Structure 1
């Protein structure tokens, strides 16, 4: 009798184990093929730790983050040493912008496994979102300390120092990243931008060219490269890149202005005027910049009457710009024979802009004051 009961009990255990294995296998199959809702039901029947974790993952995959977080938290509470669950929960909290909760979790994970670079990296990301840059830098640096090839941490450090205009530190991290990943377009682009911001246009130029070769054909890359060519007196190459920008967006007036400047610098004033007018046609409303540039073009041709007309129109569009009115004053000074008229314009400049403290306004005020004195001395000498 006892023997029979024992056999029955063993058979029941085998049956239960078989059903459990069956539920888990079915759930895994459903999960693997993307049938997450049914997979959750089978995992729930299975009731094991792995199934509980898989339920959280399934909710996460289908975008039901609220239920995923609750499920993860349940698993973590019952299994505080299960780092994989805490790590996945931390990433989900970061994704859903629960940054302070994510910080607490990653801080805990770092204590459990300080030498894990991914934990350090995500802790840095959380501190960055919490606007605690000093703490984020420490975390990123630790990630690199434990894994010198940790590309994302190297990139974050490089980008931070680039934005801060700390060129040497930025380049140190960029070059370290490139030593492991020489064709990484993000690092090449970051190095190009760092050198560009440091006015090292000749060094930035081949890097932007490389970025384009690697398929990063974005408008800002063409823009930066065009300016590098412009600064290097390679005007045709500059214009070619500005035209590439217009292929991407032909409604950007700034690009037409830059193209015009590349022509003007190459002493092709007529072509420059064409693109300035094109820029002004696109602008709505017409801004003072266009008229001022046309004034500059006319002045370069020594067509002072047209130049004065353009600058007056520019002043009408933007009477707050001291440089525009200063150009009007100097043109009147050049074209008028009456020193009293010249003085009248210069005095109006001081009346309008004399109290401005910007660098250019202060410089103009100094030169205007000096010129008024010269003109008054000329009047006095002529009277004698």
Structure 2
């Protein structure tokens, strides 16, 4: 009997060692990114640890449906496995299965009430489901658990920036920047809040900082150029608008805006050139160009030409079915000059 027990224990020991060795081989394949071979190796090992690694491997190669199936198997077998649920929930968000993701993160939030990441991702699921109040609630919970949770701070700041609730937006923006001053997303939101509040002088260095941090987007140049113009920095405004035109020389609004800078500088001939360029690329109607040229003519006391240009402007507006009251407004304004 003793020999039998010893033999069984010896067999179990060898089996465990063999399984451990096979798992180590599979892990080595996974670590270097050889996922297909890793999946085959894990399949031979069996068990929940291997199943979780198979899910991760499928996720890595982009076979999301098989990854989800494997994650779900692990979670069903081990309902307390927070790591498997966490990875499953993030993957469900990635493939736009938001209701399922919400269910997973709700469960995780109940399992672990002190984890800010679970609250954040539950907020993300609610945001994608357009449950705004619920998402804001979860982001605030995440921040209560971790005051430096940047992604939650950003989502709250973004929401209040879009809603143009200046004070609320700045509260979360400044909290985030106090923790990480080079967060380009928060710097960008800070600039936008100031821009929307017409604080152009204060917005300028922030937009410039956004560009320094390699957030090289057209809308940043556009708002920076507008701010320069409002701050009477005409040379910088023209430089920014010219960068936009190099990227897209078919955008009529950029030509119009650039013309506005020249007009503000009282460089009327240059303004006319860019208005005409704007009209040349504008489709299908360029009523604004005639309107802007008419105002230039009025400023130059060329009333005859101003009336003619306004007349063309009104004809274009009429094609767009704008109410006649606008025509009267322009005509009366011109007559009183």
TM-score by length of 2: 0.93
CA shift digits 1:208-249 (9 cap, x unpaired): 122222222221111111111222222222222111211222
Q: Which deviates further from its counterpart, 143-152 or 224-233?
A: 224-233
> Which residue matches 1:53?
52
C-alpha distance in 1 between matches for 2:95 and 2:79 = 22
> Which residue matches 1:228?
227
C-alpha distance in 1 between matches for 2:327 and 2:4 = 104
Helix, strand or coil: the match of 2:249?
coil
> Which residue matches 1:108?
107
What are the within-5 Å matches in structure 2 for residues 348-367 of structure 1?
none
C-alpha distance in 2 between matches for 1:334 and 1:43 = 85
C-alpha distance in 2 between matches for 1:70 and 1:229 = 55
> Which residue matches 1:263?
262
C-alpha distance in 1 between matches for 2:328 and 2:311 = 8
C-alpha distance in 1 between matches for 2:328 and 2:280 = 23
What are the within-5 Å matches in structure 2 for residues 152-167 of structure 1?
152-167=151-166
> Which residue matches 2:188?
189
What are the within-5 Å matches in structure 2 for residues 16-35 of structure 1?
16-35=15-34
What are the within-5 Å matches in structure 2 for residues 286-301 of structure 1?
286-301=285-300
CA shift digits 1:62-100 (9 cap, x unpaired): 111111111111110110001001111111111111111
TM-score by length of 1: 0.82
> Which residue matches 2:74?
75
C-alpha distance in 1 between matches for 2:57 and 2:233 = 57
C-alpha distance in 2 between matches for 1:327 and 1:158 = 41
C-alpha distance in 2 between matches for 1:248 and 1:198 = 28
Shift of 1:325: 5.0
User: What runs of 5+ residues in structure 1 fail to find an aligned partner?
Assistant: 336-384
> What is the total number of aligned residue pairs between the two structures?
333
Helix, strand or coil: the match of 2:240?
helix
Shift of 1:270: 1.1
State yes or no: 1:327 paired with 2:327: no
Helix, strand or coil: the match of 1:313?
helix
Greater C-alpha radius of gyration: 1
C-alpha distance in 2 between matches for 1:177 and 1:334 = 52
C-alpha distance in 2 between matches for 1:163 and 1:94 = 23
What are the within-5 Å matches in structure 2 for residues 1-384 of structure 1?
5=4, 8-319=7-318, 320-321=321-322, 322-324=325-327, 326-328=329-331, 331=334, 333=335
Shift of 1:162: 1.1
C-alpha distance in 2 between matches for 1:139 and 1:326 = 50
C-alpha distance in 2 between matches for 1:169 and 1:330 = 40
Instruction: Please provide the CA RMSD for this pair.
Output: 1.9
Tell which has more relative contact order, 1 or 2 (C-alpha 8 A, sep 6+). 2
C-alpha distance in 1 between matches for 2:10 and 2:108 = 43
Contact 1:314/1:324, CA 8 A, preserved across alignment? no
